[in-house]
Amino acid sequence: MTAGTFEIAGRSVARLGFGAMRLTGLGIWGEPEDRRECVRVVRRAVELGVQFIDTADSYGPHVSEEIIREAIHPYPADVLIATKVGLTRNGPDVVDTPRGRVRLGPKAWPPVGRPEYLRAQVLLSLRRLGLDQIDLLQLHRVDPQVPLEDQVGELKALRDEGKVVAIGLSQVDVAQIERARAVVEISTVQNRFNITERDSEPVLDHCTRHGIGFIPWAPVAQGGLAAGDVVDRIAKAHDATPAQVALAWLLARSPVVLPIPGTSKVAHLEENLAAARIPLTAAEVDDLSAA
């Protein structure tokens, strides 16, 4: 891949990573439809140069972490595993109704940020992943019932004990980043951001100024990218798909951006990773940014 690198936990990793949420069943719940294919996806990602794999204890729950271990443990020395704690599950986030499938969204992912819970989940993730130390541990969501300083403080304690190398946040605003940074160094921020959803642009700009890695989740709007005229034109010029152009734009948007497109299919993985080789011109980046 040719997407450039970014340093996390003292290690340089290729910026186009792999998000492992889709290595699960419908609604990010339970076993995937084809576990063997999911194992192949993780192995193929590493073969193609992916060095940054992002998962969470709540994906499945637990299933994603278990598949990553099955696929590539013992881990290659140049692969960094990131996981997240702080969200619980009360069932799948997609349910079948008489009107069709309905996404429950946050209702299916209640946050729990009590320090003792975060600690317990980190210890369980270490066991599931087969690690002595988590390279990057992220607070999946800020629990509004618990002071942010207490939540981040527990992650710092785990880092000081050697169980964690680097600490990240997810779905936060600039003020929350700065509150967290007053407690511990923050290496990354993971917020929803893509070519059509840019509410977190102020957060991305803040991360760029401070050298904090920015991990856009749903980097192609979870498959729902509406290909506009500008995206279509640029995709045709590069013999690429709109999704590949969307990923290439993220990589060009800032040197701190680490997109993590996810999939459960090898063919889709290979298509996503090819985005790293799309040489967008400065004018094309400007056109996409203005779209």
Q: Give the type of residue at 72.
A: I
Q: Give the type of residue at 58.
A: S
**Separation CA 61–CA 92 (nearest Å):** 10
Reported for 279-284, long-range contacts at CB under 8 A and 24+ positions apart, including other chains, are 279/238, 280/234, 280/238, 280/245, 280/248, 280/249, 280/252, 284/234, 284/237
Active site residue 59: yes
DSSP label of 59: T
Residue of 29, 59, 75, 217 with catalytic role = 59
**Separation CA 264–CA 39 (nearest Å):** 9
Q: Are strands 11-14 and 5-8 parallel, antiparallel or unpaired?
A: antiparallel
Active site amino acids: 59
